[in-house]
A and B are shown apart, each in its own frame.
Chain A
Amino acid sequence: MNVQASNAIEIRGAVKRFGPITAVDGLDLQVPPGICLGLLGPNGAGKSTTMRLLTGQAIADAGDLRVLGYELPGQSKVARSKMGVVPQLDNLDVDVTVEDNLAVYARLYRVRDVPAAVERCLEISRLATRRGDAVDKLSGGMRRRLLLARGLVHEPQLLLLDEPTVGLDPQIRTELWSLIDGLRAGGKTILMSTHYIEEAERLADEVAMMHHGKVIARAKPSELIAEHVGSQTAEVYGPPDRLAEVRAVAESEGLRVRPAGPAVAIMGAERSRNGTIPDDAVRRAATLEDVFVLLTGEEAE
């Protein structure tokens, strides 16, 4: 039975091992209704495994998981009927028409009025004029919009987006973002895994950073930035010897420093004393990328 839950997703102490690898390691994650939570982490952080745990395609070795009040994996089927999933990989039926792709999933989700659901999704995906075309005739952007609309065919209470724009070109990505933003603004509860900083920054009300199978930080993007890296970052460019010297000086003053491609980025630059940061440093507002790299030690995408 559905116990009216305060959180759309409630994960406590979830562990998932694949042989010697622990993909999810004591994960605690709560997603309240009506927000978009960005699950941000480098490849291998455990984001996709978390998604598979939530859809019942992976069974946790330990921990408690509830989705919309339904306990997993026992009540996973009921939970899945109320959540939509947009996968990382395009798994549309490519020879089948746009309309039939939607109709099939409307039936799988036991939608009562299949034609009405199909019309609604055609409108969401802006593909009404291509309804009779086979999917392999669509552009990459259209296919992605269709994939998103398919996940909404049964008007789910909760939407799981697994790396929704991975591998897409910037134009299609922006198109998808505006669609997702529309859903967020409409009050849909969304859990979105991503390893794109900008995606999390733009779309997520809150960001949970995952690393080595657990959440290592969680807050609104602005709060994460303020808490971990302050308000200003200074980037210093130069030969390796100079960068090493700049780094040593900044760290001796208690500032946090990270490599940033051909530069070093000194975080919390607003707190530096005169002379700590060279005059030729490029000062900019601190970003979520600074937090990501600082906390995970991985280069951001």
Chain B
Amino acid sequence: MNFRVFFKSIKFAFRAKKRVIPFMMVYAILIIVVSDGYLSANWAWYLLMALIVSSFYAILISQFRRRDMSVFKCIGWSNNDVMLLVIGEVILVTVASFLIMLQISFEIVGIVTYFSVNMAPGSLLAMVHDFIVIDAVPLFSTFFIVLGMQIPGLFIAQRRAMSVPPMKALREE
């Protein structure tokens, strides 16, 4: 793997804020939902949800970056280098949303402890707390689940990116 291209792709992804920020939010919600549900009896549905959202995002990036990918291919980037553009953005969004959830969990636990908030079982506050605050083990394992669920989407994105000759893609723009 070309690390220089990989790190540049992360910097590049930061500039696509209009797409990246909403998906960070979507992934943060995905992490909450999956970590709350993947240990339940319906774990398969939660993994399927993670798979669908992650695959959709990878395909979406390859669609949005179609022109850029074609230009990079024209100027001599290999298919693997071009794919790093998608991988960089996917990893940025996954890591950022994981950090957002980690920070939110820290903040809520900190506030509750600091102010000695009394959360009666069944109260709205307790329900919000239980839903949003994720324990360390489920949070970290969900991070790896979501990361792993990107792989099929990345394969699809890779096939889409590589199957089209660069000039054909540019002509279709």
Same complex: no
Chain A residues engaging chain B, CB cutoff 8 angstroms: none
Chain B residues engaging chain A, CB cutoff 8 angstroms: none
